[in-house]
Amino acid sequence: MVSVRVVGPGRAGLSVAAALADAGCPVRGVLGRDHDVTGAAAGVDALVLAVPDAELAPVAAAVDPVADTVVLHLSGALGLDVLAPHPRRASLHPLVPLPTTEVGRVRLRSGVTFAVAGDPLAGELAGLLDGRVIEVGDEHRAAYHAAACIAANHVVALLGQVERVAAGAGLPVDAFVGLTRAAVEDVAALGPARALTGPAARGDDATIERHRGALAALAPDELDGYDAGVALARRLGASQAGRELSPCG
């Protein structure tokens, strides 16, 4: 079994350490800011650097290279160059939110997708976590990570707008979460274009203007976000012009 040490006791580092331990990997400690990381790569098969992107290069440079140890980072946006001077380098980015250690350790073993690059040990670790592996080279990392942020962070930010607008009608955000969940499930089953419903998809400009009027009166600072969403929906709908569209219900 692959032995691992982790540098970075934040949510990602602790989640990965716990999930790998649950999968049977010997985890030789989680090191933080107060530890000397010079010898962190010694005595393990893999050293996982779970630190913020801005700290990756200096932390990697502070660790003495070990010829047989793979040094991995968890960044979605950065390539392998930040892991110099280590001879065996890899990246392992889980496509799943890790809000707490306990949630993270379970999610990481639930069949999620891992974006890997570099040394094959990254794919092996993903496999030990029962994950699906996709390879993303350095030249595509920024675009890949942008898509990941849209898929998670931007969706959460949109639900923040739902919460604010719904509050104006005296309703809680959780009244709308089931709608979001069903829409995401439709995307998984049908693809975005076929899953799209609503007034922008069916060309119902009158309803959109009613929405805009309500927002102008209630919360005019929400109009830009709403208009951006309408534009995206129209763009997606245009890609499937002529197909049958179902109403919101």
237: tokens are 């709908």
Over residues 238-247, mean pLDDT: 58
Give the C-alpha separation, 148 to 69, whole Å: 29
**For residue 85, is it within any domain?**
yes
Residues 6 or more apart whose Cβ sits within 8 Å of residue 126:
92, 114, 116, 132, 133
* Whether residues 130 and 152 fall in one domain: no
Q: Map 63-102 to HEC letters.
A: CCCCCCCEEEECCCCCCCHHHCCCCCEEEEEECCCCCCHH
Q: How many domains does the chain have?
A: 2
Judgement on whether residues 130 and 146 belong to the same structural domain of the protein: no
Domain boundary among 88, 103, 136: 136
Whether residues 181 and 75 share a domain: the answer is no
Q: What is the pLDDT of residue 72?
A: 98
Give me the phi and psi of 219, to 5 degrees please. Answer: -155, 80
Domain end point (choices 103, 136, 169): 136
Q: Percent of the chain, pLDDT > 90? A: 96
- CA–CA dist 118, 70 (Å, integer): 10
What is the model's pLDDT at position 247? 47
Identify whether residues 228 and 119 lie together within a single domain: no
Asked if residue 202 and residue 158 are part of one domain, the reply reads: yes
- Pick from 19, 27, 121, 20: which is nearest to 69 by CA? 121
Establish if 150 belongs to a structural domain: yes
Q: Are residues 108 and 195 in the same domain?
A: no
Q: pLDDT tens digits for 60-106?
A: 999 999 999 999 999 999 999 999 999 999 999 999 999 999 999 99
State the chain's mean pLDDT as an integer: 95
101 and 182 both lie in a single domain: no
* Residue 49 shares a structural domain with residue 170: no
H helix runs in the chain, sequence order: 11-22, 53-62, 101-107, 121-128, 141-149, 155-167, 174-190, 192-195, 199-202, 205-218, 223-238
Which of residues 101, 136, 171 is at a domain's end? 136
Report if residue 243 sits inside a domain: no
Cα(90)–Cα(47) distance, integer angstroms? 10
249 lies in a domain?
no
Q: Among positive and negative, which fits the CA dihedral 42, 48, 51, 55?
A: positive
Q: Let me know whether 23 and 126 are in one domain.
A: yes
User: Tell me, what amino acid is at 129?
Assistant: L
Same structural domain for residues 19 and 73?
A: yes
Lowest mean pLDDT segment, chosen from 36-50, 61-75, 129-143, 232-246: 232-246
Residue range(s) defining the domain that contains residue 29: 4-136
User: Given the DSSP bridges, would you call strands 89-94 and 113-118 parallel, antiparallel or unpaired?
Assistant: antiparallel
Residue 248 lies in a domain: no
| The two three-digit tokens of residue 173, written as one number | 């955000």
Q: For residue 72, report the phi and psi dihedrals to the nearest 5 degrees.
A: -120, 150
CATH number at residue 152: 1.10.1040
Contact (Cβ atoms closer than 8 angstroms) between residue 234 and residue 242: no
Residue 31 lies in a domain: yes
196 φψ region: left (φ > 0), alpha (ψ -120 to 50), beta (else): beta
Residues 35 and 118 in one domain: yes
Under a CB-based contact definition with an 8 Å cutoff, are residues 60 and 83 in contact? yes
Q: Are residues 11 and 132 in the same domain?
A: yes
Question: CATH number, domain at 125?
Answer: 3.40.50.720
Mean pLDDT for 31-57 is 97
